[in-house]
Amino acid sequence: MLADYHTHCLPWSPDADSSMLSMAQAAAERGLTHMCVTNHIENCAQEPQSSDQFPPFHDWDGLLREFLRVKEALGGRLDLRLGCEIGSPHYLPEEGRLICTQPIFDFAIGSVHNLRGKRDFYYLTYPQDFDEFRPEVEEYLDENIAMARSGLCDVIGHLGYMRRYMARQKKGFDMMLFEDRLRELFRACIENGVGIELNCSGLSDELRGFIPEPQVLRLYRELGGEIITCGTDAHSPDKVGVGIDESYGLLRTLGFKYVCLYKDHTPEFVRL
């Protein structure tokens, strides 16, 4: 079993570079058994609407049509499922609920890509002195706590997202500096049946590491966290499935017994 539960494709994710069919074919060729298509839906996070945000998305029928066409083309070679990556659904809870309850989706990643009214962490220039950025990280974690409490997603996406972009500017920090907030977040997750994602996109980026890092995953485990999915966050076929094997290895080392797949927003536990 090898499942990539975080992938993007054109035209649904404007920052991707290939079609859903190319992504699914790459997954099958690389030996993946499962893949979930999780395109960006940033309808809730665009406050104020800025030029670097993605356009609002409501073409559920169009997305489902293409998904079914690709699923049919792959036949039994790949267990393909349709999900989404919702940017901060709790910023606009009504819209978040509308997305979450679309019957076309089996799975929803909730991702805080930007603080309220601010730009995506992707676009920021990070200060030399981490203390200047500390309040933003605190606010980021508080937003993740609020998102977990809202229940408007199945898993928390790439926790510590900014570390990917800080590393590109030769900067970084230890998430365990925020252990109190992480504990609060994981307790909120567990109480609300929300899992977390192990995102391996950083392995092939400047970061050279997992998001979140192993110590953070260990804390989640210690607190009783069991729901976890693995995803590459691939935006191109060459990245599909890359690092999933390594992710499973890390989870086993940390004492996780299962990785999750999703059907109708319900986790299916598969033994590691």
* In the complex, minimum distance from the CB of residue 233 to Zn ion, in angstroms, rounded to a whole number: 4
Which residues 84-103 are close enough to bind Zn ion by CB under 5 A?
85
| Chain position carrying tokens 């899992």 | 195
For the window 134-173, what string marks contact with Zn ion as x by the rule CB under 5 A? ----------------------------------------
120, 233, 247, 250: residue in contact with Zn ion (rule CB under 5 A)? 233
258-263 and 228-231 strand pairing:
unpaired
Q: Cα separations (Å) of 222 from 74, 91, 182, 187, 247?
A: 39, 30, 12, 11, 18
The residue type at 63: L
**Of 87 and 222, CB closest to Zn ion:** 87
| Contact between residue 231 and residue 199 where contact means Cβ atoms under 8 Å apart | yes
Q: Nearer to Zn ion by C-beta: 66 or 233?
A: 233
Nearer to Zn ion, 123 or 269 (CB): 123
Under the criterion CB under 5 A, does residue 4 sit at the interface with Zn ion? no
CB nearer to Zn ion: pick between 52 and 179:
52
Q: Could you give the CA distance from residue 140 to residue 240 in angstroms, rounded to a whole number?
A: 28
Comparison of 85 and 95: residue with beta carbon closer to Zn ion: 85
Report the alpha-carbon distance of residue 161 to residue 52 in Å, rounded.
17
CA distance 246 to 203: 10
Q: Is 111 in the site for Zn ion (CB under 5 A)?
A: yes
Site for Zn ion, rule CB under 5 A: 85, 111, 233
